[in-house]
Structure 1
Amino acid sequence: MFGAIWGAVIGAVLLLGTTAQADCAGKNLLNALPIQAQAELRARAAAHPFAIGNFWLAERDAARIYLIGTYHFDDPRHAATLAQLRPLLKTTRVLLVEAGPSEEVSLHQRLADEPALILNTKGPTLPELLTPETWQLLSKAVRARGIPPVMVAKLQPWYVSMLLSMPLCGLNSAAAENGLDRQLMLAAAAEAIPIKALEPYDTVLRIFGDMPQSEQLDMVTMALATEASSADMMTTLADSYFAQEGRLIWEFNRLQSHEVLGYSPQRIDADLAKMEQVMMIDRNRAWIAKIEAAAQQGQVLAAFGALHLSGEAGVLRLLEQQGYHISRQPLP
């Protein structure tokens, strides 16, 4: 969901510590649920349009738009997907991604020039903002990642929540910047296919930067509640992606939040709805005009986080509302 921001900001924070390589040996939490609970989750996911499938074709008149939902982290299973997509690239006019090479350069430069984007350079630090108990939990969690708590104390809370959601193996994977998005960009560059961004390079930075501090601190508390199972969550996320069940992982995240956070169901649902609005729905709507404009120039391949595909305000439904016929395409 976060796209190119991960490689830049995760890479920056890894420089603060002495993290070592680790394997993501987590278990699939979905598979560990009782069969009935799994069925109920799948039923909730299926209630959303285009709940299953990572690869689609949108057609209207002569316009042909291929859409591939991506997983932003490195995984050997990407190889089969990339092999399926390579022949398509030869007939593609432009590759659309969340952030292209020039946007990534701009993001890295911006972070270097303005450390305040991820560092709290003024005002109270996290030990002052959090309860002593919460700060101790946070300190323990970042030490396990090889990062001194004193370095984390001045990080922006939204960034800390992202850091906590990733096990050590995930941090290294994110910093490696070798998810399907990156692999497709390299393949497109080899074919001399133009690569264009769907949004400005600082979109996600602005979303979090505009978030009230109280909400950012809530994100830290919520991330700490599930931090111990972060490796399991990453395994579950990856397995669900390669099973082409993107919407299922969103519903599973809702279930986990209800079970472990201790907040009222109404608050959890409201928080998730707000996150979906700013991180997915608003961005989806902004992308449609760029996707359609690119399609006027020839065949398009649009690659972006798989969570953006499904739902009433997902990219596929929005294109369907513009008169496109949507058909699922085969993947290995």
Structure 2
Amino acid sequence: MSDIFHRFGLDQLGKILFRLGLAVPGLILACLLVGLVAARAEDKPADATCHGKNLVDALRADGKLAGVEAKAKAVPNGAGKLFRIEKDGLPPSYIFGTMHLTDPRVLTLSGPAETAFDKAKTLVIETTDVLDQKKAMAALLLHPEILNLPDGKTLSDYLDAKEKAAVEAALKKRGIPFSTIQTLQPWFTSASFMLPACETERKQSGEPVLDVELAKRAKAAGKPVEGLETAEEQLSALAGIPLKTQADSLVATLQVENRMPDILETMISLYLKGDIAMIMPAIEAAVPNGGLIVGTTEGDAAFEERVVTDRNVRMAERLQPILSKGGAFVAVGALHLPGEKGVVALLRKDGWTVTRAD
């Protein structure tokens, strides 16, 4: 792995973006982060204990929770992680929303999900490239435009003087010269600051994310494992976010890095309850510049289209022949499920009966 990073020229960097493992960074980036963060590991070991607090309590105390709940309630299919997919004459399939994290609470399937997985004939995950780290890294090696800024551009072109000074100061604290990241797309730098030390430690120790764990279980049971995207497609979605949006998110992420344990705990708590549509508005309301971090601020339509909507459409289209065989268990990031343009709604438009199953 270290050889690969030297080939990138990232040995000095030692290192999505936003939406911590629910939709983006996507499955492939969640697993690439193992190497990215390992490359920048400090001499002292990371703290494997998570110390975050659920920010919902603070929202309630501040009188903001009702507004967050109202936003979530307005989102179609915003509650639930497991949905049954049916058509006459076919065994039912299921789609399950995951978090691409190693937290033990996330790795445990609920009873209905476990039953659906056991009965399934086929497992479908976002990308099977994640099961071969060399293949995943090759997507970056073969497509440097995913990682690098356009020729002649540097990060300074997307930051004002105050923002650049803030980024330089934050990087300096970590022993990272600004010069080592100035030609990289900001999403790449942001990614290494998104995960709290506890999650980083678990990834470095080899703990799998749920999607990978399910793939291992499926293969052990002799079930085929299929993917809906390639590593290149997932990473290109991140690289397609407008560069100014990426830079703004990087600044916001560095400003609230110490709140990341709280953000992670809030996301996990809401996820476990099935309150998927509450996750983004809760972070936006609870954390300064939270909207910039998670891509929900006004003007982020391009972000939503590239990283969520376009991928939802691709997933729904590629699911058609798989679902037509019946008996599939589909595991994708939970934020791909809700919304008028979410995978659940798109499958219904394609003639499938999709009902909540948890």
Using the size of structure 1 for normalisation, the TM-score is 0.85
1:109 positional shift: 2.7
The structural deviation recorded for 1:130 is 3.7
Aligned to 1:54: 81
Q: How does 1:241-252 map to 2 (within 5 A)?
A: 241-252=271-282
Is 1:15 matched with 2:39? yes
1:185-244 deviation per Cα after TM superposition (whole angstroms, max 9, x unaligned): 111111111111111221122123334433322222232343331121111111111111
Could you tell me how far apart the structure 1 residues matched to 2:175 and 2:265 are?
A: 21
| Paired residue total | 325
Q: What per-residue deviation string (whole Å, max 9, x for no partner) do you get for residues 269-296 of structure 1?
A: 221x332221111111111122121022
Q: Cα distance, 1:49 vs. partner?
A: 1.1
Contact 1:65 1:295 in 2 (8 A): yes
Match of 1:295 among 323, 332, 339: 323
Provide the residue aligned with 2:10 in structure 1. none
- Rate the CA distance shift 1:144–1:191 in 2: closer, same or farther, 3 A: farther
Asked whether the equivalents of residues 75 and 338 of structure 2 are also in contact (C-alpha less than 8 Å), the reply is: yes
**1:13-55 C-alpha deviation (Å, 9 max, x unpaired):** 5313426322321111122113542122112101111111111
Q: Partner residue of 1:158?
A: 187
**Contact 2:72/2:281 (CA < 8 Å) preserved in 1?**
yes
Residues 321 and 99 of structure 1: is their aligned pair in 2 closer, same or farther, counting only changes over 3 Å? same
How many Å apart are 1:261 and its aligned residue?
7.1
The separation in 2 between residues aligned to 1:88 and 1:262, in whole angstroms, is 35
Coordinate RMSD, CA, aligned: 3.0
Q: Which amino acid aligns with 1:199?
A: E
* Aligned residue number for residue 108 of structure 2: 80
Is 2:233 the partner of 1:209? no
Give 1:288's aligned amino acid.
Answer: A
Partner of 2:305: 277
SS at match of 2:351: coil
Q: What's the CA shift string for 1:159-207, capped at 9, x where partnerless? A: 1223333333343445546221111111111111111111122112212
Question: Does the 8 Å contact 1:145/1:168 carry over to 2?
Answer: no
Among 63, 68, 73, the alignment partner of 2:96 is 68
Q: Quick check: 1:5 aligned with 2:33?
A: no
Q: Which consecutive unaligned segments of at least 5 residues does structure 2 have?
A: 1-22
Identity of aligned residues (%): 26
Q: Which range is displaced more, 164-173 or 127-136?
A: 127-136
Equivalent in the alignment of 1:185: 215
Aligned partner of residue 302 in structure 1, secondary structure: strand
Which residues of structure 1 form unaligned runs of 5+?
Answer: none
Instruction: Give me the whole-angstrom Cα distance separating, in 2, the residues matched to 1:244 and 1:299.
Output: 23
Relative to 1, partners in 2 of residues 1:146 and 1:291: Cα closer, same or farther, differing over 3 Å?
farther
Amino acid at match of 2:85: A
1:305 equivalent in alignment to 2:333: yes
Tell me the CA shift for residue 154 of structure 1. Answer: 4.6
Runs of 4+ off more than 6 Å:
none
Moved more, 83-92 or 47-56: 83-92
